[in-house]
Amino acid sequence: MQRFDIGSFLKKLGYWTLIVLIISCVFAIFIRTSRFNGYSRVYVLDMVEGRAYKPFVYRTLLPTTVRLITLAIPESTRTTYNQWLLQYPQVRRIANVLGWEKDHLSEYTALLALMYLSLLGFAISARYLFKGLFRAPPGFVNLIPLFVLLGLPPLFTYTYIYDFPSLFLFTLGLGLMARGKWRAFLLIFLLGCLNKETIILLTVIYAIHFYHRRDMDRAFYFKFLLSQLVIFIVVKLSLTLIFINNPGSLVETHFWDHNVAELSALLKPYSYSFLILAGIMLFLVFNQWGDQPKFIRDSFLIIFPLIGLTLAFGYIDELRDYYEVYPVIALLVSHNVGKIMGIKFGKWLPEK
């Protein structure tokens, strides 16, 4: 019988306690800074009940999950729970500041719990992705979740309720793709299609990276590519039909009404601090570019369609619009930081 190692157990307990503590701090910053219930077209309860404006209502994974959870709880229990929470002045104050409807605190509780778990899933998935690409000392590998979590708060401006699930599902999808776990990948891809349309960028990465892989059967390559496209189209058409009578349009365009002005601001003089920071970031991303695994270099290419999509349909100054490429950049930076620290890396994936 294997002997219980109390020392190893305490180390793991301490590590995961630290992860949970950092997630809690990041989540508290998110709650304090992000106005995720401040836009009339995407009010939380409208999302949960399927009344929100298009195209936001199409991002239904988290709202529908919240609705199913609350419907499974008897109404009397939800009422008792709301009344119990509202006896605390701090809860009433937070609800007032954040614009939460006080008779629906059970829905907000379920929503926040799922968003919190999405952050945890993102941290674990980033570690999983890193381990699928690099050989590195366990101590450095364990720093990856801390690194990706602590890099998030500067990206918080307006955060929609589906953003953290996007981070989680996209990063996990990358990790599964890197390992060739195709059945699990398709499940995550399906959930991602229900969460946000930009999950299709995983298909772009697949199409680019595996096209020239000699260990990939050509018939499988095209069948699996077609499978992703079929799933995406079927989900998109289904959601379009389900919410066909909702107000709004299929997409929102913000190139002329917002992004042109933001682009013109780039013509103003730069500060020295901005140039220094930009130089450091470019160095940390592109230093020893050829030593990066091909998978992560190919994944970085989605930044170009992502910028194009953001220019046309998003707000170019909202950093949350680039969440899909965030784990890729984070791993590129962490690899270069490790190189600077003198850590020797080896690639798990064969470059064929």
- pLDDT tens-digit profile of 234-277? 999 999 999 999 998 888 887 777 778 777 776 777 777 878 88
Looking at the predicted structure, is the pLDDT value of residue 305 above 60? yes
Q: Is residue 178 part of a domain?
A: yes
**How would residue 343 be classed by pLDDT, with cut points 50, 70 and 90?**
confident
Q: What is the pLDDT of residue 101?
A: 87
Q: Is residue 108 part of a domain?
A: yes
Q: Is residue 20 part of a domain?
A: yes
Domain that holds residue 325: 6-347
Q: Which residue has the higher pLDDT, 325 or 32?
A: 325
Q: Is residue 155 part of a domain?
A: yes
Q: What is the pLDDT of residue 346?
A: 66
Nearest-Å Rg of the Cα atoms of the chain is 22
Region for residue 50 given its phi and psi (left: phi exceeds 0; alpha: psi -120 to 50; beta: otherwise): left
Within a 10 A sphere around the Cβ of 228, how many other Cβ atoms?
Answer: 21
Q: What is the pLDDT of residue 1?
A: 52
pTM of the prediction?
Answer: 0.92
Looking at the predicted structure, is the pLDDT value of residue 177 above 90? yes
Q: Which residue has the higher pLDDT, 5 or 113?
A: 113
DSSP string, 275-315: HHHHHHHHHHHHTTGGGS-HHHHHHHTTHHHHHHHHHHHS-
Residue range 190-209, pLDDT digits in tens: 999 999 999 999 999 999 99
Q: What is the pLDDT of residue 278?
A: 81
Residue range 119-161, pLDDT digits in tens: 999 999 999 999 988 888 888 999 999 999 999 998 887 778 9
Q: What is the pLDDT of residue 2?
A: 60
Q: Is residue 1 part of a domain?
A: no
What is the pLDDT of the chain when averaged over all its residues? 88
Q: Which residue has the higher pLDDT, 9 or 178?
A: 178
Q: Is residue 352 part of a domain?
A: no
Q: Which residue has the higher pLDDT, 302 or 318?
A: 302
Token reading at 121: 């899933």
Looking at the predicted structure, is the pLDDT value of residue 347 above 60? no
User: Strand 346-347 to strand 134-135: parallel, antiparallel, or no bridges (unpaired)?
Assistant: antiparallel
Q: What is the pLDDT of residue 235?
A: 97
DSSP 186: H
Q: What is the pLDDT of residue 84?
A: 92
How many domains does the chain divide into? 1
DSSP 318: -
**How would residue 213 be classed by pLDDT, with cut points 50, 70 and 90?**
confident
Q: Is residue 286 part of a domain?
A: yes
Cα–Cα distances (Å) from 301 to 77, 168, 335, in that order, read: 49, 20, 18
**How would residue 348 be classed by pLDDT, with cut points 50, 70 and 90?**
low
CA distance 186 to 11: 35
Q: Is residue 90 part of a domain?
A: yes
**How would residue 282 be classed by pLDDT, with cut points 50, 70 and 90?**
confident
